[in-house]
Every structure is written in structure tokens, then in C-alpha cells.
Homo-oligomer: A and B are copies of this chain.
């Protein structure tokens, strides 16, 4: 018997819209007790948890703008699309509970591509304990687009807005910064190399961490749990999707305060530092302006410092000031320069 070695390729029109949604979502199990009805009706039905508030956030990811399928595997893309949204829920100091995922795809994508995408979504749902409860699947005239809405819950007293920071509060960041941006630089460079020589097999071993930061970021669910355990309520919080500078300015503006940020305190992974050296770049640049790290940035009252001190997940990188003092970066050389949302020139 001769084996058919052509990779399986089912066109989307073979299935139709309803068949497609059913096929892609039939393996999704509902695990939250609050999810009373998931996919399959005009709307999902959720039982609000008693005494808790609901939080809602939504984000769009567009091919050619937010992702490049020439180096982004579809499974990773599905995972990342969920992470981007859960990160916003955790940035409210809330628990994520449900998501909806809408997808627009051109007919250049076979069914198997969407199956890979939904595998990534399913993995994210499983690891982060959220239910997929709805969505829409439609054809697009060009490329792929993913729209995710995430729902979560929080005790009223726990919710952290951007607006609660006070002068003298400490500015704290989770994990390390700049990795996602430097990972993107490596992937873009390899894409160019591949264009010139498609037989070149890149050795990316020394970039594993930063490439994973770009392709498979993790949202900081663990931090929300950690803060509860440490009995620390952030006075203000935001997630880092657009780079540290931009997020600090959002926090300061919403809270009506200023900020002093210390360049030497910004946590950087050794791979970020070595890759920046390779690119002849100041290693603070990707942290300040790179974005996509999906770490959390928050402020705490000084009296809470003892509770977080020494925790390897948390780094104090500055403190808030009175509003008229403005937002500044104190460089490694001790210079005090205004913090800008796109401060490349300021520190390069």
C-alpha cells in the first residue's frame, strides 16, 4: 500500500462556519463553577461570585501589525493572544475566569492551522484555569486577526487601579524586562538571513530565553496570588505591554503624581545584556521602550516594603514623587533626565 505523504489540508469552506466553531471548540471543557453556559447559545451565561466585582478587558492582535507568522508558530500565537488579555486582568489584581475568542482568517489558512492556534488557546486556558465561553469565527479578506475578551473577578477591596499611587510609594516591577523586545530583534535578524540563504540553519541556543519571552510570554497570575499571600495591596497597578517608560507615565498621570526611576535598578536577564552588547545597544533601551514583557508594574506603600523585601520576583525600581516634580530617569551615571514614552534618544 502506498502511503499518502501529502500533509493533511482541509479547507475551511469544507466545514462551514458553524461546523468550524464546533470542530475547534468541542474539546474545550468548562472548569469554573461560575460558567453556567459556555459556547453554543446566543450568549454565555455566568454566575457572578458572591461579593465580588467583575473585571473585563479586550485586545486585538493583527497579522502584520502584532505578529509575523513567518516565525510565530500558530500554537504559540494562540497562547500569546490569551496571555495578552489575562495580563490586563491580573493588572487589576483580579483572577481571570473566562475568555471569548473571535477569529477572522483568510482562506489561505487550512483547518489544520486553526487547530494549532486553538491548541495554544486550550493550553493557555488549562494552565491559567480560564474557560473559553464564546467567540465568533469569520472569513477575512486578508490575513489573520484575533480578538480576545477576558473576564475576571476580584474582591472589591483588592482591585488595584492605575490611579491610586501616592507620593513616596515604592515602584515595583515583577520579573525582568526587555527580553521580549530583544527576542524579536533576533527573530527579525534570522528572518533576513533566511531570505538570503534559506538553507542556513540558525543556532539560537544562546537566545532561548529571550525568544521564548517574545513567542510564549506568561501572564503573571502568580503575582496576584503572591501579593495576596504576602498581604500586600498595591496602591496602583498596570501591566507592561508597551515598555516601562510608557507604563510609568500612565500610572503617574492617572494617580496625579511624579516618579523617580533608577536605571541601575531595572531588572535585566543576562541574555538581554549580552544580546544588547551584540547589537551595540544600551541594555536599558529594550526595558524602557521595548514592550511585550507582560510583567506587572505596581506601587506599594513604604510600610509594605518589609513584606516584599528579598522576594526574587519583585524589584523596587524607584519611588513616586509629588506631581510638580515630574517623571524622571536617574541614569547609571547619576544624571536626572525626563522620562519619555519613546525615550530612545534620551538614553542612547
What's the number of copies of this chain in the assembled complex? 2
Give the CA-CA distance A162 to B39 in the complex, in Å: 12
Kindly state whether residue A186 has any CB partner on chain B within 8 Å: no
Kindly state whether residue A7 has any CB partner on chain B within 8 Å: no
Give the CA-CA distance A94 to B45 in the complex, in Å: 10
Shortest distance from the beta carbon of A278 to any chain B beta carbon, whole Å: 30
Residues of B within 8 A of A163 (CB): 41
Contact size range, A: 35 or more
Which of A73-81, A139-147, A269-277, A323-331 contacts the other chain?
A139-147
Kindly state whether residue A2 has any CB partner on chain B within 8 Å: no
In chain A, positions 25-50 with a C-beta closer than 8 Å to chain B are 36-37, 40-48
In chain A, positions 159-206 with a C-beta closer than 8 Å to chain B are 159, 161-163
> Hey, which bits of chain A sit against chain B, CB under 8 A?
36-37, 40-48, 52-60, 62-66, 88-89, 91-92, 94, 98, 100, 102-104, 133-136, 138-143, 145, 147, 149-152, 159, 161-163, 237-239, 254
Q: Which 8 A-B pairs have the closest CB atoms?
A: A48-B48, A43-B57, A147-B147, A42-B91, A43-B55, A64-B141, A149-B149, A42-B88
19 contacts between A and B (CB under 8 A): A36-B53, A42-B88, A42-B89, A42-B237, A42-B239, A43-B55, A43-B88, A43-B92, A43-B94, A43-B150, A45-B159, A48-B48, A48-B53, A56-B134, A62-B138, A65-B141, A100-B149, A142-B143, A147-B147
